[in-house]
Structure 1
Amino acid sequence: MMRSIRNLRDYPAGLPLVSDELVEFHAARLLLLLKICGGRKGQIDGLTKLAKLDFFVRYPTFFARACAERGASAPDVEPGVESSMVRHHYGPWDHRYYHVLAYLEGKALVRVTREGTKPFRFQLTDQGVHAAEQLASTELFQELVEMMRHVFAVLGKDSGTALKDLIYRLFDREVAARKLGEVIKE
């Protein structure tokens, strides 16, 4: 269950709390993802593309393999997954996306639109751009920002479907062969 930092006053002091349980942790990552991987407009078209770019940010070892396949250099980052994803119908997925995107939309940081049958468009509002710029300027997020810049440079022009196909081709055992809902391990 995700919690908000604002609602922790009643949280038992003796119980551990990890960032993965905080909506603000995921909201900050998605704001930065839209700012950095969303190009000049700060937008990503399609939940599939958003989820797959997020996958490569969250799984640096898998991103390094995708870089090798593309003939690109991978960033020098520590291996390990801070926040796991699960296997879903269209590849890696996080069930918290709906919660976090609604949170960001409710805070007027992200605009979610859809024209006809086109994929959903996720775009930073002016307030969202400002918030993402503030996050990106802090030391705390520098490693994440650099990882996102690499992901955008190597994979940012690909469609969500192309990214999904790349993941299934490169990571058959680690992703495609997993049961639906099973956690993806690096």
Structure 2
Amino acid sequence: MKNIVRAVTDLDQAPHLHLARILILLHAFRRGSQGGPVEGLTKLAKLDFLLRYPVMLQKALEVRGRSTSDVYLEPHELMSVESQMVRYRFGPWDHRYREFLNILVAKGLAAVSVEGRKVVISITDTGSRVAGDLASSVQFESHAARSQVLKRHLDLSATNLMNFIYETFPEVVSLKYNAPIPT
């Protein structure tokens, strides 16, 4: 049992899974005629929250009157999440976002710029190729499908997405700062 617990802890601490998930998300938002960067760390965090917590994504789609058929919930996902987030100032958050983005930028997979007070996160051509390869792999096909669902149905401004999360998931907003968000 100790080895399983350690393996799960090690997985959450290793950035590779997080980098892949964020890259796939950025790739989904770049594609199509309405594609482009993700504008704001707050927006990235809210989208990543729905990607990490697929049960919450399913509920969000139901609230918006959208089909949940593309969410592809696995039985184990009903009781657990791949990596927990915490409640922070503007809702769901992971304190490692800046670290993850710095790694993606250093590897030439993403670009970050500042426009006024907003951080703009985009994927590079190299990052898009890597994300495409990841998205077509069995390990990340559900992340890719869900990222497309997020792009289609929840590509809102950061403020509107934050307000939607607050309204739809009051149990998350009512947590104390830095409290882990349960499944």
Common topology (TM > 0.5) = yes
Q: 2:157 corresponds to which residue?
A: 159
Code of the aligned partner of 1:144: H
Q: Following TM superposition, by how much is the alpha carbon of 1:35 offset from its aligned partner in structure 2, in angstroms?
A: 0.2
Matched position secondary structure for 1:122: strand
Number of residue pairs aligned between Structure 1 and Structure 2: 171
> Which residue is 2:138 aligned to?
139
Q: Deviations over 1:37-77 (max 9, x none)?
A: 34445521111111101111111111111111111011231
Unaligned runs of 5+ in 2: none
Give unpaired runs (5+ residues) of structure 1: 1-12
- Contact 2:26–2:123 (Cα < 8 Å) also in 1: yes
- Could you tell me which residue of structure 2 aligns to residue 4 of structure 1? none
Say which SS state the counterpart of residue 6 (structure 2) adopts: coil
Contact 1:35 1:42 in 2 (8 A): no
Identity of paired residues, percent? 37
Amino acid at match of 2:82: E
Q: Report Cα offsets for 1:127-155 as digits up to 9, x if no partner.
A: 11111111112122111111111122110
| Structure 1 Cα separation of the partners of residues 133 and 181 of structure 2 | 31
Structure 1 residues 4-83: aligned runs within 5 Å:
16-18=6-8, 19-40=11-32, 41-74=35-68, 75-78=71-74, 79=78, 80-83=80-83
> Is this contact kept in 1: 2:26–2:38, CA < 8 A?
yes
Q: Normalising by the residue count of structure 2, what TM-score does the alignment of the two structures yield?
A: 0.87
SS at match of 2:176: coil
Matched, 1:95 2:115: no
Change (3 A) 1:128 1:44: same
**SS of the residue 1:178 aligns to:** coil
Do structure 1's residue 172 and structure 2's residue 170 form an aligned pair? Answer: yes
CA RMSD of aligned residues (A): 1.9
SS at structure 1 position matched to 2:87: strand
Retained in 1: the 8 A contact 2:134–2:140?
Answer: yes
Query: Does the 8 Å CA contact 1:35/1:43 hold for their aligned counterparts?
Result: no
For residues 89 and 143 of structure 1, what CA distance do their matches in structure 2 show?
A: 29
TM-score between the two structures when normalised by the length of structure 1:
0.85
Give the Cα separation in 2 of the matches to 1:135 and 1:141: 6
Where 1:120 maps in the other structure, the secondary structure is strand
Q: Secondary structure at the match of 1:87?
A: strand
Quick check: 141-150 or 38-47, which moved more? 38-47
Runs of 4+ in 1 over 4 A off after TM superposition: none
- In 2 relative to 1, CA 42–131 (structure 1 residues): closer, same or farther, beyond 3 Å? farther
Specify the code of the residue in structure 2 equivalent to 1:129.
S
Q: Distance in 1 between matches of 2:168 and 2:139?
A: 31
- For 2:125, the equivalent position in structure 1 comes to 126
Contact 2:72 2:142 (8 Å CA) reproduced: no
Q: Is it true that 1:185 corresponds to 2:182 in the alignment?
A: yes
